[in-house]
Structure 1
Amino acid sequence: MSRPPVQAVPILRVLDVDASLPWWMRLGFAEEFRHVFEPGLPRFVGVARDGCRVYLSEHAGDAPGPALVYLWVPDVDRIAADLGADVEQVPWARECEVTDPDGNRVRVATAT
């Protein structure tokens, strides 16, 4: 029986999933699942892009943050232009840093 590959998934605290999702979609992510224990309780949503996953949680006890996520992508320039961020050349990559609606920072990079 084969085992699945090891995968780490960051969980980010968000105040309103519906406000956060459009921002993450601008980074190329799509909603993968949504879970609510019962109506009126906080939502827990998974977003994914090319095998990379991030969980967005409205639960107050999950990852009180804000957090920092480092995201490798094929074209940082496209994302930076869309989000109005400046791209910087660092020794290992071209990168920019953007902030989601809840103050979580995302460093987006393309290897050089």
Structure 2
Amino acid sequence: MSAERAIPVLRVRDTAAAARWYGRLGFAVRWEHRFGPDFPCYAELARGPVRLHLSEHEGDAPPDGLVYLRRADLDAVAAEFGVPVEEMPWGPEVALRDPDGNRLRVGPPDED
């Protein structure tokens, strides 16, 4: 049975470069699509059940998007990117920016 989910779409200039950066967070490319050889790329990345879509199409998503991820290995994420784990009123969090300026906030898993 397939799960219902929402999948964020992030605007990127270079899908391959962005996919390498997201690979540092454990994401891998599941598929890519182009309408033709010189057309923009649209790709889906996955990390377990978590999905992100990256689009080079200008109208698909505004620049400077924001995604909140929940990860059990928050300290490892902070170490990988050389950033601190910040203590926020709602709990620990890591703030990242991808090469295209999209923002990611990474926090610990839900407790439920």
The match for 1:103 is: 101
* Aligned alpha-carbon RMSD (Å): 1.4
Unpaired runs of 5+ in structure 1? none
User: Following TM superposition, by how much is the alpha carbon of 1:97 offset from its aligned partner in structure 2, in angstroms?
Assistant: 0.4
C-alpha distance in structure 2 between counterparts of 1:57 and 1:100, whole Å? 14
TM-score, normalised via structure 1 length: 0.91
C-alpha distance in structure 2 between counterparts of 1:96 and 1:104, whole Å? 14
User: Following TM superposition, by how much is the alpha carbon of 1:91 offset from its aligned partner in structure 2, in angstroms?
Assistant: 3.9
Q: C-alpha offsets along residues 38-66 of structure 1, whole Å, 9 cap, x if unaligned?
A: 10000001000120000000001110221
The alignment status of 1:59 with 2:66, answered yes or no, reads no
The alignment status of 1:7 with 2:5, answered yes or no, reads yes
User: Following TM superposition, by how much is the alpha carbon of 1:76 offset from its aligned partner in structure 2, in angstroms?
Assistant: 0.8
User: Following TM superposition, by how much is the alpha carbon of 1:85 offset from its aligned partner in structure 2, in angstroms?
Assistant: 1.0
C-alpha distance in structure 2 between counterparts of 1:93 and 1:6, whole Å? 27
**AA matched with 1:90:** M
The number of aligned residues is 110
User: Following TM superposition, by how much is the alpha carbon of 1:23 offset from its aligned partner in structure 2, in angstroms?
Assistant: 0.7
User: Following TM superposition, by how much is the alpha carbon of 1:6 offset from its aligned partner in structure 2, in angstroms?
Assistant: 1.8
User: Following TM superposition, by how much is the alpha carbon of 1:5 offset from its aligned partner in structure 2, in angstroms?
Assistant: 2.5
1:30-109 alignment, distance < 5 Å: 30-109=28-107
**AA matched with 1:34:** E
User: In structure 1, the residue corresponding to 2:77 is in which secondary structure?
Assistant: helix
**AA matched with 1:59:** H
Give % identity: 45
**AA matched with 2:104:** V
